């Protein structure tokens, strides 16, 4: 486990093959509103999304000192359908286990 180690793909996240638990730093940007300012890999890499989700529960959700809403799973670029006939590409994955 690489705690607080920056990814070698940090500037090109779409080239990732693995999944990382990533802390997101959100903030108010003048003229743009509230958005992602930066992010830091907290743990990983994990070969599968399922493994990353299990580790998310173990490392983030069960730690009473961490806010789980500050963390997401980052991985390969994929498409999400938001509404019928509307999709967009993202590197962020829902950490919730179904």
Angle at alpha carbon of residue 53, lines to 82 and 63, rounded to 5°: 115
Q: How many residues does the chain have?
A: 98
* Interval 9-54: pLDDT, tens: 455 555 568 999 999 999 988 888 888 889 999 999 999 999 999 9
Longest dimension (CA), the chain: 40
Alpha-carbon distance 51 to 48, whole Å? 5
> What is the chain's Cα-based Rg?
14
* Interval 52-85: pLDDT, tens: 999 999 999 999 999 999 999 999 988 888 788 8
Q: Which residues contact 96 (CB under 8 A, 6 or more apart)?
A: 53
Higher-confidence position of 93 and 2: 93
Q: Model's pTM, two decimal places? A: 0.76
């Amino acid at each position: 486990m690489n705690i607080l180690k920056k990814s070698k793909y940090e500037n090109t996240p779409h080239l990732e093959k693995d999944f990382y638990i990533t802390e997101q730093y959100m903030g108010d940007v003048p003229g743009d509103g509230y958005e992602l300012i930066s992010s830091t890999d907290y743990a990983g890499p994990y070969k599968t999304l399922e493994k990353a989700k299990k580790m998310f529960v173990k490392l983030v959700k069960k730690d009473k000192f961490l806010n789980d809403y500050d963390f997401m799973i980052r991985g390969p670029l994929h498409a999400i359908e938001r509404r019928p006939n509307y999709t967009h590409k993202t590197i962020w994955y829902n950490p919730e286990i179904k």
